[in-house]
Structure 1
Amino acid sequence: MSSRDDIDVRPIRADEIPDWIRAMNTGFLRPPGPSEAEIADRSTYIVPERTLGAFDGQRCVGTFRSFAQEITAVGGTAVRADAISNVTVTSTHRRRGILTRMMAQDLAAARERGDVVATLIAAEYPIYGRYGFGAATTTAEWTVDVPRTGLDPRWAGPGDGGRVDLVDGDDVRKNGPELHERLRRSQPGAIDRSERWWQTATGGPVPDRAAWTEPFHAVYRNARGETEGLLTYTVDDHWGDAKQPLQTAQVKDLIAVSPAAERALWQHVCSIDWVTAVRTGRRAADDLLPHLLPDPRAAAITTQADWLWVRILDVVAALEARTYGATGALVLEVTDAAGLARGRYRLDASPEGASCARTTEEAELVLPVAGLGSLWLGDESAVRLAALGRVQEIREGAARLADALLRTSRRPWCPDIF
């Protein structure tokens, strides 16, 4: 068996992309051999210098990829992020420090580039906390029993002067990005979407064309004709034994910049003939949907879990990028085994702005960098973390002050996976 010293962790070369894809597919328990279509597709966006491989001789046994991302902080500022994806270690090479080495290389490079945070979607909960990541948003999915909702089955459109129209992929590619940017500017936790994202979601190049299912797209336009919402969904083809339609609509994407648009698009998908169930896709944990229904119990939660994880790389930049709903000063002692964010910081915050700087003052709240990542977008509570033993309150009331400063009235939400 090869030792840790025998494993070479480094950026891949362009000619190593097929072997790297094979290792990634193996790690995710997919058929390992990449098709020519998959190689061609992934080669369009893999950046070799930001794509790490762990090599045992000539064989790739670990994969790690990062790319530039923007994430919206509380208040609407777009923050530079190091987005991490495609992380695997082959089962024959576990417990040899491969992931630790890949993570250390990537985070050090991200800090050197000036990235403020690193982000990822964790497939398994226990892994990433030890690298300083904290769960920062929650995702939820509901299944709606349409006949139980109490909605008018004869609904023919919004009564506010707006309208819902079905559109095609070309229209979505034309108008969707601007609408998403409007949402992203106001939604903490939202991330940017690339041109490739829109192409893939609307029928552009995909690795396996045979697997593509063309969805339905609907937009809500207000009384002035302005687009305020976009809905993308598919419908299965299930019928009961008595020739009864029992079809389920699966929402792939629903973004809205007004409550009116959100209400109209949910009403639309819940009023389609033959559809008896709607799966909502990934939503914020405090989504409006259940209470838009006359009977909220018709929407049952089928998934609720952590979603976007955040690792703070630059404490000062991260805390100064966001806004605050109260006025106060707090001295934080941030612990960080990697040393990237370790230190003592004084935060002076108010609704008018904030400043943060290193300080020698006595700490009032001691927390690991993972805890700061969980608090940064406003979803987690410092009081709750203190009760769990994950935050140490040195000055009585410091955790309550942290909540008053950091928590948000609506929960952060990341609609996307990466």
Structure 2
Amino acid sequence: MSVELRTVSESEFPEWLRALRTGFLNEPVVPDELVADRLAHVDLDRTLGAVEGGRVVATFRSFRQRVSTVGGGGLTADAITQVTVAPTHRRRGLLSRLMERDLAAARERGDAVATLIAAEYPIYGRYGFGPASRLTEWSVDLRRAGLDPRRGGPEDGGPEDGGRIDLADGAEIRRIGPDLHRGLAALRAGVTDRGRREWDIGTGLGHQLEPWKEPYYAVYRSASGEPEGFVSYRCDDRWSDAKQPENTLTVRDLIAVTPAAERALWRFVCSVDWVVTVRTGHRPPDDPLPLLLPDPRAARIVSHADMLWLRILDVVRVLEERTYPVADGLVLDVRDAGGFAGGRYRLDASPKGASCAPTTASADLVLDVAELSRLVLGDESAVRLALLGRIEEAVPGAAARAELLFRTPLLPFSPDIF
């Protein structure tokens, strides 16, 4: 039987979900309430399947997304998710055909980039994607950290500048969270937008894939009463045989839009009674937490990996949308086997703005679109890529110039999985 690639209908959607759950090694059972919930929030015109004999053997879905770029701007993205191929149909080119179809549609719509979270690293580079942000998680041993939670002034760990921390509930987080999240996107590249549904699910409303356990919430307010950050966290309940607390506090979400809020929220979660270990959840690799501790060695890295993957579809829009810390001009010869973004482009950039246009001038750097996608949010080093042979310097010193143009004071951060 031949395999047909197409969008799936509403009647086929339960079978599509079954194939999706099979691909991710979940129980291949699709409750009616799951079908109803997902149907209410997916665009079937962007829900693709490979169908053979009435059975879905590959799944692929995309949706509209906004991703922040350097300097606080944003790019319209084709967000790719729920990609699977049945174990009976591997190595038949199904993913390649689905990806080609989706990226062509995204380019036709005018999306500047495509994004995804890669379940496995080696898959997506061949389609022009590159890892554009990373995440780090720390485990903090509070018994070694050196903090003294018994004291409360700014000089020893309390909120600064007259600010305060108040406990809150999910309703308040749904009210203040979206503005704070947009503030985070203005500070760091790589932040993907959160819609109302994401805020609802993240605070216990809507369909939950697992039984909901209500977290704790705390909000930092400045001296004027304005919310500048919040944290959501859960705690376990563990005691030693000697009746000593051995509880772990796990951060689910921490968003701060001022340095004072970020410091205060970290100090707060590190001072909760009975907690001896703090798990930070996914954080940017340059998060200030370890250096807030008198003994930074108390913060042990337990996870460090790639997070958001980016695929440039429109070089001109992507390079013009971000800001640059220095003035320089570079000619980039971009190679793209997919045919979407290849060409030679001249970038003229300065702190006042940037322009980018196709050119016939000689190249300074030659690179694949996947490598440019690594660079554009400021996470990767052009010099390191040149040392690896992934960027070719047509003009000596061009990689160092690109390093100064593309790197950013704050690393990109992508807190959400989609």
**2:51 aligned residue (51, 55, 66):** 55
Q: Kindly report which structure 2 residues correspond to 1:211-222, keeping only aligned pairs within 5 A, or say none.
A: 211-222=211-222
- The one-letter code of the counterpart of 1:164 is I
Q: Distance in 1 between matches of 2:378 and 2:160?
A: 35
Match of 1:91 among 76, 87, 91: 87
Q: Distance in 2 between matches of 1:344 and 1:112?
A: 21
Q: Quick one: distance in 2 between partners of 1:396 and 1:95?
A: 41
What's the counterpart of residue 193 of structure 1? 194
1:75-86 paired onto structure 2 within 5 Å: 75-86=71-82
TM-fit CA distance, 1:160: 2.9
Measured after TM superposition, the shift of residue 56 of structure 1 is: 1.1
Distance in 2, matches of 1:65 and 1:247, equals 40
Q: In the TM superposition, what is the alpha-carbon distance from 1:78 to its structure 2 partner?
A: 1.2
What is the CA distance between 1:342 and its match in structure 2? 0.7
Kindly provide the amino acid, as one letter, of the partner of residue 205 in structure 2. Answer: G
Distance between the aligned counterparts of 1:170 and 1:410, measured in 2?
31
Specify the SS of the correspondent of 1:24. Answer: helix
In the alignment, is the contact (CA less than 8 A) between 2:160 and 2:264 conserved in 1?
no
- Contact conserved, 2:146 with 2:294, CA < 8 A, in 1? yes
Once the two structures are TM-superposed, the CA of residue 147 in structure 1 deviates from its matched residue by: 1.4
Equivalent in the alignment of 2:270: 270
Partner residue of 2:317? 317
Shift of 1:283: 0.3
Q: Distance in 2 between matches of 1:279 and 1:349?
A: 40
The one-letter amino acid of 2:183's match is: R
Provide the residue aligned with 2:360 in structure 1.
360
SS in 2 for 1:31: coil
CA distance in 2, matches of 1:155, 1:283: 27
Letter of the structure 1 residue corresponding to residue 130 of structure 2: G
For 1:160, the aligned partner's letter is D
For the 8 Å contact 1:363–1:394, the answer to whether it is kept is yes
Report the 3-state secondary structure (helix = DSSP H, G, I; strand = E; otherwise coil) of the residue aligned with 1:126: coil
| Aligned twin of 2:203 | 202
2-structure distance, mates of 1:42, 1:276: 39
Secondary structure of the residue aligned to 1:93 is: coil
CA distance in 2, matches of 1:272, 1:338: 52
When the two chains are superposed, the root-mean-square deviation of aligned CA atoms in Å is 1.0
- Structure 1 window deviating more from structure 2 (143-152 vs 199-208): it is 199-208
Which whole-Å CA distance do the structure 2 matches of 1:310 and 1:278 have between them? 31
Partner of 2:129: 133
Instruction: Give the Å deviation of 1:191.
Output: 1.1
Distance apart, 1:218 and its partner CA: 0.4
- How far is 1:153 from its partner? 2.4
DSSP-derived class of the 1:338 partner: coil
Letter in 2 for 1:39: V
| Distance in 2 of aligned mates of 1:183 and 1:338 | 33
Alpha-carbon deviation of 1:394? Answer: 0.6
| Partner SS, residue 187 of structure 2 | coil
Equivalent residue number for residue 392 of structure 2? 392
- For residues 177-223 of structure 1, what are the alpha-carbon distances to aligned partners after superposition, in whole Å with 9 as ceiling and x for unaligned? 11111111221111110100110011111245x71011111000011
1:324-403 map, 5 Å: 324-403=324-403
Q: For 1:113-132, list aligned pairs within 5 A.
A: 113-132=109-128
2:12 maps to 1:11? no
What displacement does 1:329 show? 0.8
Identity %: 59
Confirm whether residue 66 of structure 1 aligns to residue 67 of structure 2.
no
Question: How far has the Cα of 1:358 moved from its partner?
Answer: 0.5
Aligned length: 413
Distance in 1 (CA, whole Å) between partners of 2:290 and 2:72 is 26
Q: 1:363, 1:199 → 2: CA distance? A: 49
- Equivalent position SS for 2:12: helix
The residue identity in structure 2 corresponding to 1:141 is E
In structure 1, how many angstroms separate the alpha carbons of the residues matched to 2:412 and 2:333? 25
Q: Offset at 1:159?
A: 4.6
Structure 1 residue runs of 4 or more that deviate by more than 3 Å after TM superposition: none
Partner-residue secondary structure (3-state), 2:48: strand
Question: What letter corresponds to residue 391 of structure 1 in structure 2?
Answer: I
Specify the alignment match of 1:409 in structure 2: 409
Matches of 1:56 and 1:271 in 2, distance apart? 57
Residue type at the aligned position of 1:113:
R
Q: Per the alignment, do residues 159 and 335 of structure 1 end up closer, same or farther by CA in structure 2, a change over 3 Å counting?
A: closer
Q: Given the two structures, how large is their TM-score scaled by the length of structure 2?
A: 0.97
Aligned to 2:176: 175
Question: What is the letter of the counterpart of residue 249 of structure 2?
Answer: A
**TM-aligned CA deviation for residue 27 of structure 1:** 0.4
Query: Structure 1: which amino acid aligns with 2:166?
Result: D
Q: Please tell me whether the aligned partners of residues 166 and 217 of structure 1 are also in contact (alpha carbons under 8 angstroms).
A: yes
1:283 aligned counterpart, secondary structure: coil
Deviations 1:16-39 (A, max 9, x none): 111111001000001011112221
Distance in 2, matches of 1:276 and 1:185, equals 34
Unaligned runs of 5+ in 1: none
Gaps of 5+ in 2: 153-157
Q: Shift of residue 155 of structure 1? A: 4.2
- 2:155 corresponds in structure 1 to none
Matched, 1:108 2:104: yes
The reply to whether residue 184 of structure 1 matches residue 185 of structure 2 is yes
Whether the 8 Å CA contact 1:335–1:343 is kept in 2: the answer is yes
Separation in structure 1 between the aligned mates of residue 236 and residue 176 of structure 2, nearest angstrom = 27
Alpha-carbon distance in structure 1 between the residues aligned to 2:280 and 2:208: 26
5 Å-filtered alignment, 1:154-173, equals 154-156=150-152, 157-173=158-174
Tell me if the contact between 1:68 and 1:80 (Cα under 8 Å) persists in the aligned partners: yes
How far apart in 2 are the matches of 1:329 and 1:289? 37
Contact 1:37 1:207 (C-alpha < 8 Å) held by counterparts: no
The 1-side partners of 2:237 and 2:271 are apart by: 17
Whole-Å separation in 2 of the counterparts to 1:392 and 1:184: 32
Choose the corresponding residue for 2:38, options 27, 35, 42. Answer: 42
Are residues 119 and 223 of structure 1, via their aligned partners in 2, closer, same or farther at CA, if it must alter by over 3 Å?
Answer: same
Structure 1: which amino acid aligns with 2:270? Answer: C
Does the 8 Å contact 1:73/1:322 carry over to 2? Answer: yes
Name the TM-score, length of structure 1 as normaliser: 0.97
